[in-house]
């Protein structure tokens, strides 16, 4: 048997074992949660994430010297896929595990790694990402938050916005301007900021779903010690760009598993007769929308596999990720719009009271949340600009 076949067989055995453990562990966790499973509740999500970490399911790709498991990317992908398949929600420290930890491993000093990695591994310290500002989102290099060099460190002043989980985070990595005279990409630094510092103020922003997952963060004369600069001073742009590339290969996996699960739910809804005995799937318009989504699901799975293969080969990140981002976020909105059409008024009364319907409530919540998916991590317009310039070779607009 070749080395490749051996590896594939090992991955398959790993998948089976993991599936067995995840299915029973998540079912037991959800059963024991007061009031029953609540996968949209942030406390439930945090507690499940804590459980995974306590059982050793964190730091999957980190070197063993830092408490990681040193698993190859193929096994990490299996974990993300199986985790989503068992119906478990994403955690609240995604930014710590997915972005900050690999960035620390790459750019951190030994002391920074020893200080911060254990807190992420055990899920003791939640991280948030302080990049966007009221005047700097798509054009991130325009950030105006100022980190002025002072004795022993920096004095931080500024205003961040849309900072996910900031009200739950102990730490925030902040992109701040350390040299206002330098060209805009060159005067930025990447600082690790203790959210408990004097002068940090967090104000949650309520979303269309009714939840407040993101916040405004104000820094007023916050002292940041010198040893919390990650990478070199004024090289923050380089660190931030590298940080954005570390999840390549695995980011879409849970999202695409969920897409396929929701697609199946929508299929069942379309086959269910309504109060008048009408079966929605008998409409060619419904069948057409569903078929297009089934094709989307298949093509997206192939794109995700291609990205994973590229990452495993060590290919540099390219503009293909932008095509997957647009495709997934826009198809997901279409999928959830179809679910709302099929649910009709049930979607409005699903959450509580008479006629409460957990499945309909989950779809209604996902529909509302999906409005954000064409904005976060780079809007569709920005992704189209990247495709136009880097894939199609069109002139800059
Ligand atoms: C759910 C959610 C979570 C988020 N979490 C975080 C977080 O944790 N940390 C963080 O730092 N940020 C976070 N963000 C912010 C996110 O990164 C920004 O919203 C995004 O980058 C867009 O920036 P903006 O909102 O300032 O919009 P703007 O950049 O002001 O854009 C406004 C509109 O103009 C369009 N536009 C802008 N420039 C161009 C251009 N050159 N060509 C064509 N069209 C253009 C945009 O596409 C958009 O439609 C989050 C956002 C969401 C929705």
- Does the pTM exceed 0.85? yes
Banded model confidence at residue 317, pLDDT cuts 50, 70, 90: confident
How many angstroms separate the alpha carbon of residue 161 from the centre of ligand 1? 10
Mean pLDDT for all residues in the chain:
95
* CATH number for the domain running over 248-391: 1.20.140.10
Atom number in ligand 1 closest to CA 378: 21
How many angstroms separate the alpha carbon of residue 343 from the centre of ligand 1? 31
Parts of the chain belonging to CATH 2.40.110.10? 127-236
Alpha helices in 158-251 (DSSP H): 236-245
CB of 164 within 8 A of CB of 213? yes
> pLDDT per residue over 1-19, tens digit each?
677 777 778 889 999 999 9
Nearest CA to ligand 1 atom 25: 137
Burial of 380 (0-12, 13-18, 19+ CB in 10 A): middle
Parts of the chain belonging to CATH 1.10.540? 3-91
CATH topology for the 127-236 domain: Butyryl-CoA Dehydrogenase, subunit A; domain 2 (2.40.110)
Res 354 pLDDT > 70: no
Nearest CA to ligand 1 atom 47: 381
CATH topology for the 3-91 domain: Butyryl-Coa Dehydrogenase, subunit A; domain 1 (1.10.540)
Nearest to 333 by CA among 380, 370, 296: 370
Q: What is the dihedral of CA 47, 50, 55, 57, to 10 degrees?
A: 120
Section 21-34 average pLDDT: 97
Residue showing tokens 């940041």: 224
Could you give the 3-state DSSP secondary structure of residue 164?
strand
> pLDDT per residue over 95-152, tens digit each?
999 999 999 999 999 999 999 999 999 999 999 999 999 999 999 999 999 999 999 9
CA distance 384 to 397: 11
Parts of the chain belonging to CATH 1.20.140.10? 248-391
Ligand 1 pocket check for 381: Cβ under 6 Å = yes
Pairing of strands 171-177, 188-194: antiparallel
> pLDDT per residue over 205-234, tens digit each?
999 999 999 999 999 999 999 999 999 999
Q: To test ligand 1's pocket by mutation, which of 128, 132, 322 has the most ligand atoms within 8 angstroms of CB?
A: 132
Atom number in ligand 1 closest to CA 160: 11
How many angstroms separate the alpha carbon of residue 38 from the centre of ligand 1? 29
> pLDDT per residue over 32-48, tens digit each?
999 888 999 999 999 99
Predicted local distance difference test score (pLDDT) of residue 350:
66
Banded model confidence at residue 397, pLDDT cuts 50, 70, 90: low
DSSP per-residue letters across 300-334: HHHHHHHHHHHHHHTPPP-THHHHHHHHHHHHHHH
Predicted local distance difference test score (pLDDT) of residue 185:
95
Q: To test ligand 1's pocket by mutation, which of 96, 126, 135, 138 has the most ligand atoms within 8 angstroms of CB?
A: 138
Predicted local distance difference test score (pLDDT) of residue 85:
97
Banded model confidence at residue 345, pLDDT cuts 50, 70, 90: confident
Nearest CA to ligand 1 atom 24: 137
Ligand 1 pocket check for 129: Cβ under 6 Å = yes
Ligand 1 pocket check for 122: Cβ under 6 Å = no
Ligand 1 pocket check for 227: Cβ under 6 Å = no
Q: To test ligand 1's pocket by mutation, which of 93, 96, 129, 137 has the most ligand atoms within 8 angstroms of CB?
A: 137
> pLDDT per residue over 230-289, tens digit each?
999 999 999 999 999 988 889 999 999 999 999 999 999 999 998 899 999 999 999 999
Banded model confidence at residue 353, pLDDT cuts 50, 70, 90: low
Predicted local distance difference test score (pLDDT) of residue 1:
65
């Amino acid at each position: 048997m070749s080395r490749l076949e051996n590896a594939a067989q090992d991955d398959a055995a790993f998948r089976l074992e993991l599936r067995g453990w995840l299915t029973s562990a998540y079912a037991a966790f959800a059963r024991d949660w007061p009031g029953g499973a609540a996968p949209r509740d942030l406390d439930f999500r945090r507690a499940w994430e804590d459980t995974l970490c306590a059982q050793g399911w964190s730091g999957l790709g980190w070197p063993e010297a830092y408490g990681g498991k040193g698993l190859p990317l193929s096994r990490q992908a299996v974990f993300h896929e199986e985790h989503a398949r068992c119906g478990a929600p994403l955690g609240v420290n995604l930014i710590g595990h997915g972005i900050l930890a690999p960035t620390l491993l790459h750019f951190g000093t030994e002391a920074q790694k020893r200080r911060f990695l254990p807190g992420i591994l055990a899920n003791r310290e939640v991280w948030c990402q302080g990049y966007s500002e009221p005047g700097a989102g798509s054009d991130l290099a325009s950030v105006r938050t100022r980190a002025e060099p002072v004795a022993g460190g920096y004095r931080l002043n500024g205003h961040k916005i849309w900072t996910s989980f900031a009200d739950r985070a102990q730490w925030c990595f902040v992109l701040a301007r350390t040299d206002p005279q330098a060209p805009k990409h060159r005067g930025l630094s990447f600082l690790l900021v203790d959210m408990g510092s004097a002068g940090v103020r967090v104000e949650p922003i309520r979303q269309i779903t009714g939840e407040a997952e993101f916040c405004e963060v104000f820094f007023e004369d916050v002292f940041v010690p010198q040893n919390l600069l990650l990478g070199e001073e004024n090289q923050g742009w380089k660190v931030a760009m590298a940080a954005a590339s570390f999840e390549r290969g695995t980011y879409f996996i849970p999202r695409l598993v969920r897409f396929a699960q929701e697609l199946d739910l929508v299929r069942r809804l379309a086959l269910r007769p309504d109060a008048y005995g009408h079966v929605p799937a008998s409409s060619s318009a419904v069948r057409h929308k569903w078929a297009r989504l089934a094709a989307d699901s298949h093509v997206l799975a192939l794109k995700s596999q291609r990205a994973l293969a590229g990452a495993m080969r060590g290919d540099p990140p390219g503009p293909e990720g932008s095509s997957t981002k647009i495709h997934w976020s826009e198809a997901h909105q279409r999928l959830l719009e179809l679910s709302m059409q099929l649910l009709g008024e049930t979607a409005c009364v699903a959450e509580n009271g008479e006629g409460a319907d957990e499945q309909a409530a989950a779809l209604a919540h996902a529909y509302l949340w999906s409005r954000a998916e064409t904005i976060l991590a780079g809007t569709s317009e920005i992704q189209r600009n990247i495709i136009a310039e880097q894939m199609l070779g069109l002139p800059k607009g």
